């Protein structure tokens, strides 16, 4: 399952992001089943779709790269091993070239400060301990100037620590929402 997020710009790149557990793709198998699910989503998407696949682990990105090579899907990969010059070149290629539909990116490399509105599909391969890291990664595609709806796919392996991370994310988001509402109420009271 997925979150469909309006990508028509707006004041906040986080508008409409909803990491509710019912919007996550929960898989009964482990790591390889998740990678197969990501690959299947990419292969069955519309021909003009552009995908950003975020993972914390470079080894996961490397495995996905191998799978994409086997399927003859052109892609670029950006992670902590990529030099600044090469990173810029690869990101520009992803944005500008229609024959490069996939960007594989480490969450830590791509979570901040990038504008990747060429993408309309965002894949989060594993949940992060800090939910704002996921939100920031998704926000790379949800920027001013985004002309398409952005679909977010989150993958969670059932019966693993990932389910605990999801539960923790939900708690953290509830606390943050409560604190934000309390601060807003205090400001309104004077």
Q: Residue 28 in contact with residue 158, Cβ under 8 Å?
A: yes
Q: Is the pLDDT of residue 183 over 70?
A: no
Q: How many domains does the chain have?
A: 1
Q: Give residue-wise pLDDT tens across range 108-156.
A: 886 556 889 999 999 999 887 677 788 888 888 888 888 899 999 988 8
Q: Is the pLDDT of residue 16 over 50?
A: no
Q: Please provide the size of the chain in residues.
A: 190
Mean pLDDT value across the chain: 77
Residue 17 belongs to a domain with what CATH number? 3.40.50.300
Q: Residue 25 in contact with residue 156, Cβ under 8 Å?
A: yes
Among residues 64, 167, 76, which one has the least CA distance to residue 125? 64
Per-residue model confidence (pLDDT) at position 177: 59
Torsion (CA) 165, 171, 173, 175 in degrees, nearest 10? -150
Per-residue model confidence (pLDDT) at position 32: 82
Q: Residue 23 in contact with residue 1, Cβ under 8 Å?
A: yes
3-state SS, 130-184, equals CHHHHHHHHCCCCCCCCCCCEEEEEEEECCCHHHHHHHHHHHHHHHHHHHHHHHH
Q: How confident is the model at residue 78 (pLDDT cuts 50, 70, 90)?
A: very high
Q: Could you say which DSSP state residue 99 is in?
A: T
Which of 55-69, 105-119, 160-174 has maximum average pLDDT? 55-69
Which residues span the domain enclosing 123?
A: 2-189
Distance CA 68, CA 96 (A): 20
pTM: predicted TM-score of the whole model, two decimal places: 0.72
Rounded mean pLDDT of 55-77? 95
Per-residue model confidence (pLDDT) at position 166: 59
Q: Could you tell me the two tokens for 7?
A: 């990508």
Rounded mean pLDDT of 64-92? 95
Phi, psi of 12 (to 5 degrees): -120, 135
């Amino acid at each position: 399952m997925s979150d469909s997020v309006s990508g028509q710009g707006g004041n906040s790149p986080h508008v409409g992001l909803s990491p509710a557990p019912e919007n996550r793709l929960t898989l009964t198998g482990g790591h390889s089943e998740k990678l197969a699910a990501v690959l299947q989503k990419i292969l069955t998407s519309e021909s003009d779709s552009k995908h950003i696949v975020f993972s914390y682990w470079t080894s996961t990105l490397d495995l996905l790269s191998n799978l994409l090579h086997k399927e003859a899907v052109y892609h670029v990969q950006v992670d902590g091993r990529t030099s600044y010059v090469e990173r810029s070149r690869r990101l520009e290629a992803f944005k500008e070239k229609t024959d490069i539909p996939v960007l594989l990116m480490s969450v830590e490399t791509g979570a901040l400060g990038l504008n990747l509105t060429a993408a309309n599909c965002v894949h989060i391969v594993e949940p992060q301990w800090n939910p704002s890291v996921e939100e920031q990664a998704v926000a790379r595609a949800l920027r001013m100037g985004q002309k398409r709806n952005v679909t977010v796919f989150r993958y969670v392996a059932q019966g693993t620590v990932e389910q605990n991370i999801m539960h923790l994310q939900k708690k953290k988001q509830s606390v943050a929402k409560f604190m934000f509402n309390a601060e807003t109420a205090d400001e309104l009271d004077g």
